Amino acid sequence: MEINTATDAFAALSQETRLAAFRLLVRAGPAGLPAGEIARSLGAAPSTLSTHLGLLQRAGLVSSERRSRRIVYRADFDGVGALIRFLMKDCCKGHPAVRAALDDAA
């Protein structure tokens, strides 16, 4: 993973509303959620959420698909996996505290 790809992904998750949107999508699973519903859930303007979702998408953390009038967003687990891999390998592979995180999740 390029260093700039990584900073983009971290930036995408570094904002409260955006991280909240991302977590909603993770919890929603493969069905995803339409943009408007996310905006309503988080109490923000549709245009605001649209901006945030676009940024998450450019960072490779979510994908979108038009479903009739709705645009459904989904968490992109490959993207998240790549980011975790970056943190693991490139930053901290083999360190005890990081191993602990692995075992924890296993």
Which residues contact DNA (rule: CB under 7 A)?
Answer: 11, 14-18, 34-37, 39, 44-55, 64, 66, 68-71
78 binding a copy of itself? (CB under 8 A): yes
Q: Choose between 47 and 103: whose C-beta lies nearer to a copy of itself.
A: 103
With respect to a copy of itself, which residue has the nearer C-beta, 6 or 44?
Answer: 6
Name every residue whose Cβ is closer than 8 Å to that of residue 38 and which is 6 or more positions away in sequence: 21, 24, 25, 49, 53, 73
Which DSSP string do the residues of 59-72 spell out, in sequence order? TTSEEEEEETTEEE
- Minimum distance, C-beta of residue 27 to a copy of itself, in the bound complex (Å): 9
Q: Please report, to the nearest 10 degrees, the dihedral formed by the alpha carbons of residues 48, 52, 57, 63 taken in order.
A: -60
For 10, residues 6+ apart whose C-beta sits below 8 A from its C-beta are 83
Which residues contact a copy of itself (rule: CB under 8 A)?
Answer: 3-4, 6-8, 10-11, 13-16, 19-20, 22-23, 26, 75, 77-78, 80-85, 87-93, 95-98, 100-102, 104-106
